[in-house]
A and B are shown apart, each in its own frame.
Chain A
Amino acid sequence: DSGVTQTPKHLITATGQRVTLRCSPRSGDLSVYWYQQSLDQGLQFLIHYYNGEERAKGNILERFSAQQFPDLHSELNLSSLELGDSALYFCASSVGTGVAKNIQYFGAGTRLSVL
């Protein structure tokens, strides 16, 4: 168990809908990262938050947004869902924000199916 909790584990929804994925980082970790894993794109970095502030943005679509709350949990919001958004979404956490010695621990993922 990595200590990173993601909910829900599975989510099935329809095109055009909006969903929210939730992540609770390990105790003491201030950084949260979101990744998308799809069959055709592999694992892609979406966004990184540190102590409530956005630190880096990757290949995140404009239809997607994220935030980190004062209690350090994070939510990834996906709207106007398309079939191609079906994927496994991972959250990871780490202690710091610096790149050096920054080891990430991953949650079990949320599997999103858009029908």
Chain B
Amino acid sequence: GIQVEQSPPDLILQEGANSTLRCNFSDSVNNLQWFHQNPWGQLINLFYIPSGTKQNGRLSATTVATERYSLLYISSSQTTDSGVYFCVIVPTSGTYKYIFGTGTRLKVLA
């Protein structure tokens, strides 16, 4: 089946540090999104980015569709960035289904 793997699985940062989260997928995609699940469980959409680069404040994302990976950059991390980050894809092949990645659990220490 289609694989969506994220790395690293866990990450601990000191407040103010930068980080890069990676999402590898095994099929070409029509849709790719990044979500943040905060410690209270709420899922928040960060980026819709099936290709190219986008920036929103301290966060930016890049997807290289031809090489089947996406990166999420967090700069000057804050404790409120803690939680789990998921990438979600819809592959071009097969039926129209959203597939979540394995997630990266981030903890930012004050």
Residue pair B96, A106 in contact (C-beta under 8 Å): no
Q: Contacts A88-B41, A99-B31, A109-B41: A45 and B48 contacting too (C-beta < 8 A)?
A: no
Does B11 touch A at the CB level, under 8 Å?
Answer: no
Interface of B is mostly: strand
What is B's interface to A at a CB cutoff of 8 Å?
Answer: 30-31, 33, 35, 41-45, 48, 50, 86, 88, 90, 95-100, 102-103
Residue pair B45, A105 in contact (C-beta under 8 Å): yes
Number of A-B contacts (CB under 8 A): 56
What is A's interface to B at a CB cutoff of 8 Å?
Answer: 2, 33, 35, 42-45, 48, 55-58, 88, 90, 92, 99-106, 108-109
Cβ-defined partner of A103 (8 Å) among B33, B43, B96, B103: B33
Residues from chain A with Cβ under 8 Å of B90 in the complex: 99, 102
Residue pair A48, B45 in contact (C-beta under 8 Å): no
Cβ-defined partner of A45 (8 Å) among B41, B99, B102: B99
Task: Tell me the bound Cα distance from A16 to B23 in angstroms.
Answer: 39
Residues from chain B with Cβ under 8 Å of A99 in the complex: 30-31, 90, 96
Residues from chain B with Cβ under 8 Å of A88 in the complex: 41
